[in-house]
Amino acid sequence: MSDFQTLDTSTWGRASTPAERNRVMRNTYWLLALSLLPTVLGAWLGVATGITQSLSGGLGLVVFLGGAFGFMYAIEKTKNSASGVPVLLAFTFFMGLMLSRMIAMVLGFKNGSELIMTAFAGTAGVFFVMASVASTIKRDISGMGKWLFVGALVLMVGGIVNMFIGSTVGMMVISTLAIGIFSAYLLYDLKQIIDGGETNYISATLALYLDLFNIFQSLLALLGIMGGERD
């Protein structure tokens, strides 16, 4: 069973031995699995109540960016304290709520449930492949970080621009690139944990969660565009 609830925070930042690195990885995986529960709850609540349906265009962008960056700032400030886990879980609930608008749109298709399950299975497949690769490769890939960060910034700008243009082709291109970039980010973040470059359980979980969230969201968008069946 995970021991992230009984961690000695004085050891965070010094995972220098294999045993310490394994503990970081083990507790990160447990916390990542736990973080999916508030995400599902937030998505369900958003679909059931329609609370996010009015968040389109500029308003939706402001709410999403403001909420996401606000939570990430709070997580950074509380990651070495007992309140770090609840703040992270609150963030994942918020992200599920923000995702509910897209999920509701996909559920509007005749095969919507199948598309969601396919996107989930695809995301899980990417995770297992990247986890396997990260645990076997020996070379240092820390240099990827700056290029991936630039790629993520370009994607964010492109997504904001396309939100106002409303191009379906643009959405497909951005989603495809996002799957590639965040799959590489997933490999990078996993390798950081394995090599001891990331030693805080909460920071590690946040990084992996964001990678998986973006992969799932992009897969779901692609599947909805290309495979959605209307009644």
> Which tokens belong to 196?
């001891």
> Which tokens belong to 144?
């990827």
Q: What is the pLDDT of residue 20?
A: 81
Question: Minimum mean pLDDT among 15-24, 98-107, 203-212: which range?
Answer: 15-24
What range does the domain containing 103 cover? 4-227
Q: Is the pLDDT of residue 3 over 70?
A: no
Q: Is the pLDDT of residue 145 over 60?
A: yes
Q: What is the pLDDT of residues 188-201, one digit of tens each?
A: 999 999 888 888 98
Contact 21, 194 (CB under 8 A): yes
For the chain, give the secondary structure using H, E and C: CCCHHHCCHHHCCCCCCHHHHHHHHHHHHHHHHHHHHHHHHHHHHHHHHCCCCCCCHHHHHHHHHHHHHHHHHHHHHHCCCCCHHHHHHHHHHHHHHHHHHHHHHHHCCCCHHHHHHHHHHHHHHHHHHHHHHHHHCCCCCCCHHHHHHHHHHHHHHHHHHHHHHCCHHHHHHHHHHHHHHHHHHHHHHHHHHHHCCCCCHHHHHHHHHHHHHHHHHHHHHHHHHHHCCCC
Contact 55, 63 (CB under 8 A): yes
Q: What is the pLDDT of residue 5?
A: 37
Measured between alpha carbons, how far is 71 from 214 in angstroms, rounded to an integer? 17
End-to-end CA separation in angstroms for the chain: 46
Q: What is the pLDDT of residue 16?
A: 62
Q: Report the residue count for the chain.
A: 231
Q: What is the pLDDT of residue 225?
A: 87
Q: What is the pLDDT of residue 140?
A: 80
**How many domains does one find in the chain?**
1
